[in-house]
Chains A and B, each alone.
Chain A
Amino acid sequence: MKFSINQSTLLEALQNIGRVVPTRSTTPILENILFDLEDGGLKITGTDLEVSITTRVPVEQVDTPGSIALPARVMTEMIRSLPDISIQFELEENNKLKITTDKGRYHVSGLSKDNYPEQPQFSDAENFTVPNQLIARMLQKTIFAVSSEELRPALMGVFLQIMPDEFRMVATDGHRLSKIVNRGFKAEVSPLKMIIPPKAVQIALKNLEEEGDTELTIDQTGLQFNFGNTTLYTRLVEGEYPDYERVIPRDNDKTLTVDRELLISSVKRVSLFASALTHQIRLELSPNQLLVCSEDLEVGGEGRETLDVEYDGEPMEIGYNANYLLDILRHADTEQVVFKLKSPVRAALITPTAENENESFIMLIMPIKLG
């Protein structure tokens, strides 16, 4: 195994792969990345057993094919510290890799490929293609609401559902929920459901080009994004996604319309005075006026701001976790947002004032009951 490659090309690949490589793992081999020199180029792979990325990069002077697992951190640091020059790699005896530049020579100890986990194989896989813009938007609008609670694993991912006439994604952690549905896109695939772990979603968002389409491969247990030279594979989260439709309120009859940016900055300021433990802020609604307030009984701080809004319901006070509320507001992308409310203990429905064509996007937040 012998080849040479440009520093910048290699570094870019290593950094992308680095996103899956665990920094501390009970399985130390996972702290390595795999170099496979094939006839078409160099294939670099990293995995944490749940998510794997493989990238193919062009190399010069291909010699005999070969493979080796190398410590990810050392390699990345090493390549990062070099200028953009051509670097030669040569595999020597005993899994030692010799790295040569015009100035220096380095040896890295690697491990034989046999130690490295096998790539997962698909069975009965189906392929379909989605526009990059669509999938990126839908993932972005949902990922923030994914739960990190391991005791309810099904919530630990973005739920993706393909039906004959719609494509939808949902995420919830039991305190808030985001659901986005597109009716314009028809996937050439049988109806399916899956739960995608957030780590894979984040890496996918980094790898999705702005334009064009991406091919997805899917089977019972895994999903693969095929982005040109890079493939991202993820195991799917097992379990039944909860019946979220049931908890989306249909009878919220009070409507609050508010300027999104103004509310975001108010909530941000006021929440500085909220309890660090609960992040609780209070919205006091009265006709066409919204009072955002918080107090931290322990430190004795408090904040209050008044906003002009459109509100027609009876006066009401509702508590929210400021962070949840901010997350939601940041993801609604119109100038104004609409809150549909029922009571201080029921879910609020938040939507942008205008919908994209063929799209419906709603978010839900559960209140904090004021003591």
Chain B
Amino acid sequence: MDARIKILPDLVMKRIAAGEVVERPASVVKELLENSLDAGASSISLIVRDAGSGLIKVVDDGCGMSSEDAALCCERHATSKVYTSEDLETISTLGFRGEALASISSVARMEIVTCRQNDSESSRLIYEDGSVVERLKTAPRRGTAISVKDLFYNQPARRKFLKAPSTELRHIISVFRHIAIAFPAVEFELIIDDERTYDLRAADRKQRILDLLSSAQAHTFIPVEKTIGSVSLQGLISRPGSGRKSKQNQLFFLNNRFITDRSLSHAVMTAYGTRLSRNEYPDYFIFLTIDPSRVDVNVHPTKIEVRFLDSRLVYDTVRRAVADGLRTPAVVPELQLVPGKISGARRAAARMRNPEEMGQLTLEAQRQAVGSAPVVDFRSGSRERPPFWQLHDTYILTQIKSSLVLIDQHVAHERILYEKALASLEDKRGISQQLLFPQSVQLDAGEFAVLTDMLPYLNDIGFTVREFGKNTVIVEAVPVTMKNGTEKELLLDMIDMYREESGGSDAVTEKIAAVYACKAAVKAGDPLTLQEMASLVDQLFSTKEPYFCPHGRPIIINLTLEEINKKFGR
């Protein structure tokens, strides 16, 4: 059979981004896994010992190599993936440089066992310092197994620079995960020091991601999808407030290749905007498909950075896909919506671009009962089913068709007040309740300075705060939306919070609105009457974003009957 691997002509060679690809064990893992994928494997095992410095072995069931190719594959610039300069314009394989095996074989002891579909035997080649030192024939087994032992054995300096085994292992696992996510249809197995760490069946993209994450995160994803011009995007993003604290699941894939791109990360974060709380990092898995001729992956030897011809378009596609995703009703955990009539959600539905899709909460019957009934104790369970329950004076519970809805009373109220305050700041028509007993508030110099900054905005929201002698102010009126009687505490809290939040990129008005909303809202632990609960829910559904508080925490959690049934083993 013909040797398919050729040595690239000089001209092509020169056009390839030069540089070292084997920096650490994880780089070897990446190159070997990519080769297996390029070989069309449907099942790949990765075996690692001693964090990769002892052994890295990749076994695939791909196309294999002829014995001639096997002898050639560790030459520099030996590749079967591109032959001409034109090929470089339309790269559809992960590898194209013909460099990886050459580099690896020169810094480790390597062994290749490979066999094509109809070969009667496997070729086994042992390399040392980049050259074949032994050739054997063994029983046929389709596919290729490449073992890399004693990495950097001949380069003591590099070996010394390896990080702690745990760090190197972490890098290996992250490379493995990225590749496993990019190729969900391929089975992957990872064996670390004889222990099987991952065993991934062929799956679709979402399932593969869920298989890799802890099951606790499973419910928190929103699918996104968008095509603009030549750019199409699919992906999963986490709901704001899912409480992620690390960036390790912020991944972009371009044509099945894991890439990093700061401008695209920025696009995602812009779309999340204020929905995220401080130090919250959403998870996202974004898969871009772009004609290979419109991207240049030949920028960096590790191919992890790419260049987009239409970078603006790609940026916009990402930002809009995420923004749209965050706006869909699916953002409420599993909210099952039924078409129906209710008064509470009517205003909300009217605002919704697609009310049918959104459906309406069937609260009507429940709302009729609101009024005279006493606060119902959730534990005691009364005979008639009450419309709302308050759980631990913190959550409002109610039912909609086929599920239980939990509403966090504080964040719900916060969302309401936030939007009110923002509107007042905009039209400068905050409505004030005048106080019978104006409150004088004594501040320290620092607080007073902060308050002076805030004053015009506070007055727009509906406060009437007057300076009254040294570091003292008098509160004569408060926004009508404020709870009775907490003027002084509220003012002090707001000053504190405003001071902490300074910096930040939000507009002052947004900050003021957020600070006011957070501090003036009912707190967890405040008992509410049925009437108050009903009115809160009503108002919540007339806000623009009933599902997330200004800090990005979820307001509504939906527990479907299905889930509950499952828990009870029905």
Residues on B with C-beta less than 8 A from A321 are 433, 480
B535 interface residue, CB < 8 Å from A?
Answer: yes
| A148 adjacent to B436 (CB under 8 Å) | no
Residues on A with C-beta less than 8 A from B374 are 23
Contact flag A175-B433 (CB < 8 Å), given A24-B377, A24-B379, A147-B484: yes
> In angstroms, how far is the closest chain A Cβ from the Cβ of B417?
9
A366 interface residue, CB < 8 Å from B?
Answer: yes
B542 interface residue, CB < 8 Å from A?
Answer: yes
Partner of A366, one of B375, B430, B433, B539: B433
| A149 adjacent to B483 (CB under 8 Å) | yes
Contact flag A369-B477 (CB < 8 Å), given A276-B539, A278-B431, A280-B431: yes
B246 interface residue, CB < 8 Å from A?
Answer: no
Partner of B424, one of A173, A242, A299, A371: A371
| A368 adjacent to B436 (CB under 8 Å) | no
A155 interface residue, CB < 8 Å from B?
Answer: yes
For A366, give the chain B residue with the smallest CB separation: B434
> In angstroms, how far is the closest chain A Cβ from the Cβ of B540?
11
| B435 adjacent to A174 (CB under 8 Å) | yes
B340 interface residue, CB < 8 Å from A?
Answer: no
A172 interface residue, CB < 8 Å from B?
Answer: yes
Bound-complex Cα distance A148 to B531 (A): 15
> In angstroms, how far is the closest chain B Cβ from the Cβ of A346?
8
Bound-complex Cα distance A104 to B346 (A): 53
| A151 adjacent to B436 (CB under 8 Å) | no
Partner of B347, one of A174, A298, A367: A298
Interface size of B as a range:
20 to 34
Residues on B with C-beta less than 8 A from A242 are 437
Give the total of A residues in contact with B, Cβ under 8 Å: 35
Partner of B431, one of A147, A149, A368: A368
Partner of A369, one of B380, B420, B464, B538: B464
| B380 adjacent to A23 (CB under 8 Å) | yes
Residues on B with C-beta less than 8 A from A174 are 435-437, 484-485
Residues on B with C-beta less than 8 A from A346 are 434
| B538 adjacent to A371 (CB under 8 Å) | no
> In angstroms, how far is the closest chain A Cβ from the Cβ of B143?
66
| A149 adjacent to B481 (CB under 8 Å) | no
B20 interface residue, CB < 8 Å from A?
Answer: no
| B484 adjacent to A175 (CB under 8 Å) | yes
Residues on A with C-beta less than 8 A from B477 are 345, 369
Q: What 1/0 mask marks residues of chain B from 393 to 434 whose CB sits below 8 Å from any chain A CB?
A: 000000000000000000000001000100010011111111
Residues on A with C-beta less than 8 A from B535 are 276
A107 interface residue, CB < 8 Å from B?
Answer: no
> In angstroms, how far is the closest chain A Cβ from the Cβ of B493?
11
| A366 adjacent to B431 (CB under 8 Å) | no
Contact flag A347-B436 (CB < 8 Å), given A151-B486, A278-B431: yes
Bound-complex Cα distance A147 to B487 (A): 14
> In angstroms, how far is the closest chain A Cβ from the Cβ of B166?
47
For B429, give the chain A residue with the smallest CB separation: A371
> In angstroms, how far is the closest chain B Cβ from the Cβ of A353?
24
- Among B427-449, those with CB < 8 Å from A are 427-437
B489 interface residue, CB < 8 Å from A?
Answer: yes
Bound-complex Cα distance A280 to B433 (A): 10
Bound-complex Cα distance A321 to B375 (A): 24
Residues on B with C-beta less than 8 A from A148 are 484
Residues on B with C-beta less than 8 A from A347 are 434, 436
Contact flag A147-B464 (CB < 8 Å), given A23-B380, A276-B538: no
Bound-complex Cα distance A370 to B462 (A): 9
Residues on A with C-beta less than 8 A from B435 are 174-175, 366
| B480 adjacent to A278 (CB under 8 Å) | yes
For A299, give the chain B residue with the smallest CB separation: B347
> In angstroms, how far is the closest chain A Cβ from the Cβ of B558?
24
Q: What 1/0 mask marks residues of chain A from 110 to 148 whose CB sits below 8 Å from any chain B CB?
A: 000000000000000000000000000000000000011
Residues on A with C-beta less than 8 A from B434 are 345-347, 366-369
Contact flag A371-B484 (CB < 8 Å), given A242-B437, A299-B347: no
Bound-complex Cα distance A24 to B416 (A): 29
| A247 adjacent to B431 (CB under 8 Å) | no
For B433, give the chain A residue with the smallest CB separation: A368
Q: What 1/0 mask marks residues of chain B from 258 to 277 whose CB sits below 8 Å from any chain A CB?
A: 00000000000000000000
A177 interface residue, CB < 8 Å from B?
Answer: yes
A198 interface residue, CB < 8 Å from B?
Answer: no
Residues on B with C-beta less than 8 A from A149 are 483-486
A338 interface residue, CB < 8 Å from B?
Answer: no
A21 interface residue, CB < 8 Å from B?
Answer: no
Residues on B with C-beta less than 8 A from A278 are 431, 480-481
Bound-complex Cα distance A344 to B120 (A): 100
Residues on A with C-beta less than 8 A from B430 are 371
| B489 adjacent to A277 (CB under 8 Å) | no
Q: What 1/0 mask marks residues of chain B from 277 to 296 whose CB sits below 8 Å from any chain A CB?
A: 00000000000000000000
> In angstroms, how far is the closest chain B Cβ from the Cβ of A344?
9
For B461, give the chain A residue with the smallest CB separation: A371
For A173, give the chain B residue with the smallest CB separation: B484
Bound-complex Cα distance A172 to B485 (A): 11
Residues on A with C-beta less than 8 A from B484 are 147-149, 173-175
Bound-complex Cα distance A247 to B438 (A): 9
> In angstroms, how far is the closest chain A Cβ from the Cβ of B204?
43
> In angstroms, how far is the closest chain A Cβ from the Cβ of B511?
21
Partner of B427, one of A147, A276, A371: A371
Partner of A277, one of B347, B427, B429, B539: B539
For A152, give the chain B residue with the smallest CB separation: B485
Residues on A with C-beta less than 8 A from B462 are 369, 371
Bound-complex Cα distance A155 to B484 (A): 11
Partner of B436, one of A73, A177, A280, A369: A177
For A347, give the chain B residue with the smallest CB separation: B436
A319 interface residue, CB < 8 Å from B?
Answer: yes
Residues on B with C-beta less than 8 A from A73 are 380
A176 interface residue, CB < 8 Å from B?
Answer: yes
Bound-complex Cα distance A347 to B432 (A): 13
A68 interface residue, CB < 8 Å from B?
Answer: no
Residues on A with C-beta less than 8 A from B539 are 276-277
Q: What 1/0 mask marks residues of chain A from 58 to 98 whose CB sits below 8 Å from any chain B CB?
A: 00000000000000010000000000000000000000000
Q: A298-B347, A321-B480, A371-B428 are in contact. List 6 more A-B contacts (CB 8 A).
A: A23-B377, A173-B484, A276-B538, A368-B431, A368-B432, A369-B464
Which residues of A approach B to under 8 Å, CB–CB? 23-24, 73, 147-149, 151-152, 155, 172-177, 242, 247, 276-278, 280, 298-299, 319, 321, 345-347, 364, 366-371
5 pairs across A/B with beta carbons < 8 Å? A149-B486, A347-B436, A369-B477, A371-B424, A371-B427
Please give me the 8 A-B residue pairs with the lowest Cβ-Cβ distance, nearest first.
Answer: A371-B429, A149-B485, A369-B432, A366-B434, A278-B480, A152-B485, A149-B484, A371-B431
